[in-house]
């Protein structure tokens, strides 16, 4: 589980940290930087997938020119904060802390390369790229290389505790292939890679969810593709099917009692809702909000969930009177299944109905007036936030601009406020 993510000189963040819980909510005005936090998560996810820095930032294409990975928004010229030589991302993964600093090598056509990298377990270093002993001078890495060394340091009797790796790719995904890498560290690095690689970034598009799918496509696409066949596979488990139906009855005025999956002449599977009166409603006639909620159900209730799901505007298309159901679903499933959900929202209703645990993991992202940099602050740490939440409701504080007003008043004047 990810516990925090620090962004230093990453896009419009000078040095800010987001606390991450089971369900993490981010609020803030448009263009404040919430999507840039998503990009930071995606950067770390690219590391977990074993990509080079060029692929993480610029994109990766597979056979036939098909895109396998979309690069980071803004590309090479905007990912590092203006006038800064490098960016730093630091992520807490359970008891581990993984840190990577990335810059551009102007002697190598401006290519991105790792400048520093380290992994710690609590206060104990597992590896880092910074030599700390004089006898390392004879082991200087060559052009385009990094030297990773291990917790005991290097002495003449411990010469096998270092490896040389390429500088254009994070070392954490390289040293497993190195014969001289210590076996005792592999479980630690494997665990961090597993967590970083086990993320999904869903930008659900109802039109894509309405499209039929070919049998065997059982993993929901990032835009909601293959919803009919994913749902069909889940419904093969009668208990999961009944749970889906119950949630659908709660969400919509449709009296759903079953799902049907007819096929067309091409063999593609379609989605049809069967109501209690035997009325059939196709996915083409269902509302956008119904389809978005159903897609969230499939990922949160389905078998083999991913570790972390990132949604932008999770409440989009869902009626305010029904958003409590969405909130209840996420809060229950994150607690029950050990998964994480990170989302942005502009919905006052969603904030008003969240439980105490989610409130603790809600942050406001803001750009102060006449400032280029964004800041991240836990809402619970703002002055009187807990008191005002009970008396006025967190949604009213959001819609009234209270959070931004408090930040404008407190930032730079009293750094101890709310601590």
Question: pLDDT of 28-84, one tens digit each?
Answer: 988 889 999 999 999 999 999 999 999 999 999 887 778 889 999 887 788 999 989
112-136: average pLDDT = 80
CA contacts within 13 A on the Cβ side of 390: 4
pLDDT at 23 over 90: yes
Long-range contact list for 132-139, CB < 8 A, 24+ apart?
136/162
Mean pLDDT of the chain: 88
Domain assignment present for residue 181? The answer is no
Q: Are 281 and 272 in contact (CB under 8 A)?
A: yes
pLDDT band for 137, please (50, 70, 90 cuts).
low
Domain assignment present for residue 262? The answer is yes
Our count of domains for the chain comes to 1
- For residue 209, give its domain range: 205-304
pLDDT of residue 382: 95
Q: Give the pTM.
A: 0.92
Domain assignment present for residue 300? The answer is yes
Domain assignment present for residue 14? The answer is no
Domain assignment present for residue 293? The answer is yes
Domain assignment present for residue 267? The answer is yes
pLDDT of residue 176: 67
Domain assignment present for residue 168? The answer is no
Comparing 137 with 193, which gets the higher pLDDT? 193
Domain assignment present for residue 401? The answer is no
pLDDT of residue 345: 93
pLDDT at 150 over 90: no
Q: Which of 15, 176, 163, 192 is nearest to 86 (CA)?
A: 15
Rounded-to-integer distance, Cα 37 and Cα 7, Å: 8
Indicate the SS3 state at residue 51: coil
């Amino acid at each position: 589980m990810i516990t925090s993510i620090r962004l230093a000189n990453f896009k419009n963040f000078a040095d800010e940290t987001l606390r991450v819980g089971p369900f993490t909510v981010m609020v803030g005005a448009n263009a404040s930087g919430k999507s840039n936090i998503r990009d930071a998560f995606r950067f770390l996810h690219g590391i977990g997938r074993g990509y080079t820095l060029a692929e993480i930032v610029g994109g990766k294409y597979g056979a036939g020119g098909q895109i396998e990975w979309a690069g980071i928004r803004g590309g090479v010229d905007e990912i590092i904060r203006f006038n800064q030589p490098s960016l730093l991302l630091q992520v807490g993964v359970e008891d581990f802390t993984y840190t990577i600093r990335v810059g551009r090598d102007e002697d190598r056509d401006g290519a991105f390369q790792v400048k520093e990298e380290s992994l710690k377990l609590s206060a104990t270093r597992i590896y880092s790229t910074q030599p700390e002993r004089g006898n390392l001078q004879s082991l200087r890495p060559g052009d385009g290389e990094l030297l990773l060394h291990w917790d005991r340091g290097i002495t003449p009797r411990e010469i096998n505790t270092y490896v040389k790796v390429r500088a254009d790719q994070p070392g954490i995904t390289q040293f497993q292939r190195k014969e001289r890498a210590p076996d005792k560290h592999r479980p630690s690095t494997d665990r961090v890679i597993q967590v970083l690689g086990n993320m999904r970034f869903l930008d659900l598009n109802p039109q894509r969810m309405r499209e039929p799918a070919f049998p065997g496509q059982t993993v929901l696409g990032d835009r909601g593709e293959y919803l009919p066949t994913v749902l069909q596979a889940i419904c093969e488990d009668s208990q999961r099917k009944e749970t889906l139906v119950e949630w659908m009855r709660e969400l919509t005025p449709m009296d759903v009692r079953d799902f049907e999956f007819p096929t067309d002449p091409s063999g593609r599977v379609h989605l049809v809702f069967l109501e209690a009166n035997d009325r059939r409603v196709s996915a083409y006639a269902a509302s956008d909000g119904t389809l978005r909620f159903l897609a969230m159900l499939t990922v949160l209730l389905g078998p083999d969930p991913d570790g972390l799901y990132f949604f932008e505007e999770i409440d989009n298309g869902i009626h305010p009177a029904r958003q409590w159901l969405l909130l209840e679903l996420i809060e229950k499933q994150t607690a029950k299944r050990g998964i994480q959900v990170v989302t942005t929202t502009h919905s006052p209703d969603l904030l008003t109905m969240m439980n105490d645990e989610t409130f603790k993991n809600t942050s406001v992202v803001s750009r102060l007036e006449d400032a280029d940099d964004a800041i991240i602050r836990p809402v619970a740490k703002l002055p009187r936030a807990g008191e005002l939440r009970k008396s006025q409701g967190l949604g009213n504080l959001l819609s009234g601009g209270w959070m931004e007003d408090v930040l404008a008043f407190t930032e730079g004047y009293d750094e101890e406020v709310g601590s």
